[in-house]
Structure 1
């Protein structure tokens, strides 16, 4: 099951599918002496997303009838060997809609994961950024290892169905052995099918890709909008290329000072807070809450459901059953946005009546599984990037020692997130560091937006990011809200502050609070 960082913004991508080409590989060609920064991008109409990107149809036209355009950026496979083999990075853009004389440049988005396809996500949320498009070309991409950009490949669809049906919160020695064996099998498949790519998918590699992208797009500075893990990528970019940072916004901020254990524990607290807020909201309304009489009753009934599912799953989406793990995953998915709470209520009502379809649909959405049973590569890419980045490797004994602390942080999600820490055990590539370096002396101001009710990237991470970026760089803005991130909440105060900076260069006062 997922290591905790997988719960970073993947719901943004997955929920677009819920609610609403040939894969580029490694090459060994005639580009040994080519200056990749001088390449020209061949923009053309976008193909339908690949299976690795999540499948589906071509992106719908933009308001006014303009079409999305796609291109492939050629980048070094190994940045330590810039004249060696290359890979293709999939890009998408919507050209600026306003007066050409007022165009600022390109605004590059990363929506998180890690492992989310920007090529499929940007069109899904494109209307949310219409105002920004008046002065920018909106650009996103599949980072290396993701979607159509030299995708990491691990297990096939049938194997992944079994992988996500396993018990990710083992209760005894036999279940612990099975979990570790399944993890070992999955990781071995990644090494077998993607050996050449695995050492090259670190966040530092993606940051170097973005600087090459900036040059090829013709921008003197990188204007950037990073969400969730995208804030970590943006922070690493700012560290490596501080003088090339233009106007940048970090939303749904990853704490760059934490190692993977600390991040997991923080997420346990964050998702528990979101569940508490859901329960309070449901039971505070005038009409009866259909899943409990009091906030505590709501949580007690969910805990009982999960305990019962551990020994006796219920029918989910045929032929699969809703297991304890799938239900927990589905509940976590629904806590990413207050807009999804109604689906959680509906899913719980159904599950109490023995029908697990909605909770399983939510879980499938988190895992990148489409209705036809095909998976995107978000799980494979997420694990590969996290394991390449994160130095710690945790054992079963270590997790068992930490369980009391995790359970204290979250009775519901503690075990789930604690056992996720074994995902990188036995990984083929050593992790780079305990945590990323985002110190960025000399960078232009970066607007850092924290949400007090964020389950996946707890609010405290925003202040930690501001401090780590260094004096005079990070500017903190607080949103008193619910869900993961702030800009897409449609809060007028947040959007006004972000738009004011990106469009007009107006930096909000540090410590601004929106509610």
Structure 2
């Protein structure tokens, strides 16, 4: 993984509907990565709590009562693998393993474990806790909880979705499709069908079981083997969807739950991408306004004129893909992938300014570096994660998508209206799932939480990936919940915003003090 400061404090993983006009070229921004630690050095076997075992479903009791061995790993952490059913419809069938990493609490009054999901879908909670747990989660929380990150099923170390070699991934990202033409769309569908077949061949039957409902059931087994009677949970972005799914399935097991960068589970895939397209266009306007007010900005004129200049650069690369200094071709898909990355944290806006300045002068290499960073590609050509493929596989199961040509064409026009700059690159998500080997298993619906524990939902006014309106809607669906809103730019708030958000979350997680609903920070 790259240094946390390679793109400043790297943003939490996020679900993006960006199609990026390339085979399976969905973008995922992963967690920050600087190594630090703190933890015990001895092996620990956790014995099951009899009360938790008794409360477990009878056909899953062997999973809840499994002996889990935590062993030293990653310098100062502890790691374990937890068995879960591959198919919850057949609990006596094949099992898979969920990889987890723990940052043990050094406090004297430990409250249990805090499980963390950084987003995606496809983000590694293992990596997040290892590389960013001590910077994004306060010392107050860490002294009261063991912080546990895990790779959800299908992600990196946990029965990973596997599709292409590194060289094939480079080739797929470099391809150019004119998706608004019949020939271009047909070519993309053919390529995606071939990729889907490779995913099925290399991943095996678990590919049909990487949906979010199954991941939420895994989460309850993790809670059980950690000997926690209630789930304490911090979820960012897609992690809020996983959290609200858990709350709907296991309302009586919810402890203290923070859902930051909220997703609205009632929205269709097309509604999600439309909301993101609008939010990114809003974020672009905020960025250019800031850029124009500072020295060194390569844009000029009014904010509207500056946005037009960005659109012109993208159109120029679309018409004539450029060569980077390493000899690789940068098409518009790759360019846009790099362009959107800094919007997840406004601390990264200076990097975007530098990359735009270089691109305007003819050098697209800085934009390619940003795109590679978001795609988990190292300078030596190796890919360090499977986030792109996990993203696609999970979404194909979680969302029934518009896959007919007329529907995708209509969706493209709506997205272009929502975001004149990026709308086209959010379109045609259905091409990824049209020939996917497994049908979707979920119909979008509001969260159905009937529990008594308070849940904290957080939204950010300038969030480009999970628009603040989604937090308002999720809060309504959760009944016993409180909404925190940060007036800021970028994706998610806790760990990168201000003391108002930080203190409210810490007081809730540690002291059980629920913040006042509709608090604005």
Distance 1:361 1:299, change over 3 A: same
Residue in structure 2 matching 1:10, options 25, 28, 34: 28
Q: Paired residue for 1:379?
A: 388
1-structure distance, mates of 2:95, 2:185 = 41
Instruction: Find out whether 1:328 has 2:336 as its counterpart.
Output: yes
2-structure distance, mates of 1:315, 1:436 = 45
Mapping of residues 125-164 of structure 1, within 5 Å: 125-127=132-134, 128-129=136-137, 130-164=139-173
| Structure 1 residue 299 displacement after superposition | 1.3
| Structure 1 residue 6 displacement after superposition | 8.6
Q: Paired residue for 2:367?
A: 359
Distance 1:77 1:356, change over 3 A: same
Q: Normalising by structure 2, what TM-score?
A: 0.87
SS in 1 for 2:372: helix
Residue in structure 2 matching 1:489, options 475, 483, 496: 496
Residue in structure 2 matching 1:40, options 48, 52, 67: 67
2-structure distance, mates of 1:132, 1:144 = 26
| Structure 1 residue 483 displacement after superposition | 0.3
| Structure 1 residue 171 displacement after superposition | 4.1
Q: Paired residue for 2:37?
A: none
Q: Paired residue for 2:12?
A: none
Instruction: Find out whether 1:107 has 2:114 as its counterpart.
Output: yes
1:208-260 deviations in Å (ceiling 9; x for gaps): 10100001001000000000000000000000000000000000011111000
2-structure distance, mates of 1:297, 1:488 = 34
RMSD value over aligned CA atoms?
Answer: 2.0
Residue in structure 2 matching 1:305, options 309, 313, 319: 313
Unaligned runs of 5+ in 1: 18-31, 47-57, 62-66
SS in 2 for 1:144: coil
SS in 1 for 2:483: strand
Instruction: Find out whether 1:413 has 2:440 as its counterpart.
Output: no
Following TM superposition, the consecutive aligned residue runs of length 4 or more in structure 1 with deviations greater than 6 angstroms are: 5-9
Instruction: Find out whether 1:69 has 2:82 as its counterpart.
Output: no
1:9–1:229 contact (8 Å) kept in structure 2: no
1:256–1:468 contact (8 Å) kept in structure 2: no
SS in 2 for 1:116: coil
Residue in structure 2 matching 1:463, options 472, 483, 502: 472
1-structure distance, mates of 2:18, 2:91 = 30
Q: Paired residue for 1:26?
A: none
Residue in structure 2 matching 1:193, options 199, 202, 217: 202
| Structure 1 residue 304 displacement after superposition | 1.0
2:177–2:187 contact (8 Å) kept in structure 1: no
1:103–1:134 contact (8 Å) kept in structure 2: yes
Q: Paired residue for 1:391?
A: 400
Residue in structure 1 matching 2:352, options 344, 356, 360: 344
2-structure distance, mates of 1:9, 1:444 = 35
| Pairs aligned (count) | 475
Q: Paired residue for 1:433?
A: 442
Q: Paired residue for 2:242?
A: 233
Distance 1:301 1:71, change over 3 A: same
SS in 1 for 2:441: coil
When structure 1 is superposed on structure 2, of 126-135 and 498-507 the one drifting more is 126-135
When structure 1 is superposed on structure 2, of 394-403 and 226-235 the one drifting more is 394-403
1:441-474 deviations in Å (ceiling 9; x for gaps): 12411100010100001110001111222x3x22
| Structure 1 residue 379 displacement after superposition | 0.9
Distance 1:432 1:411, change over 3 A: same
1-structure distance, mates of 2:422, 2:140 = 38
1:50-95 deviations in Å (ceiling 9; x for gaps): xxxxxxxx4xx5xxxxx11111111111111222211111000110
1:465–1:474 contact (8 Å) kept in structure 2: no
Distance 1:343 1:91, change over 3 A: same
| Structure 1 residue 400 displacement after superposition | 1.2
| Structure 1 residue 433 displacement after superposition | 2.3
1-structure distance, mates of 2:72, 2:27 = 27
Distance 1:168 1:230, change over 3 A: farther
SS in 1 for 2:113: strand
Instruction: Find out whether 1:121 has 2:139 as its counterpart.
Output: no
1:225–1:249 contact (8 Å) kept in structure 2: yes
1:162-200 deviations in Å (ceiling 9; x for gaps): 111123553433222222222222212112222311111
1-structure distance, mates of 2:169, 2:376 = 10
2-structure distance, mates of 1:327, 1:191 = 29
1:145–1:151 contact (8 Å) kept in structure 2: yes
SS in 1 for 2:440: coil
Distance 1:3 1:397, change over 3 A: farther
Q: Normalising by structure 1, what TM-score?
A: 0.88
Instruction: Find out whether 1:255 has 2:268 as its counterpart.
Output: no
Unaligned runs of 5+ in 2: 1-14, 21-25, 35-58
2:230–2:254 contact (8 Å) kept in structure 1: yes
Instruction: Find out whether 1:294 has 2:302 as its counterpart.
Output: yes
Residue in structure 1 matching 2:231, options 222, 225, 236: 222
| Structure 1 residue 490 displacement after superposition | 3.4
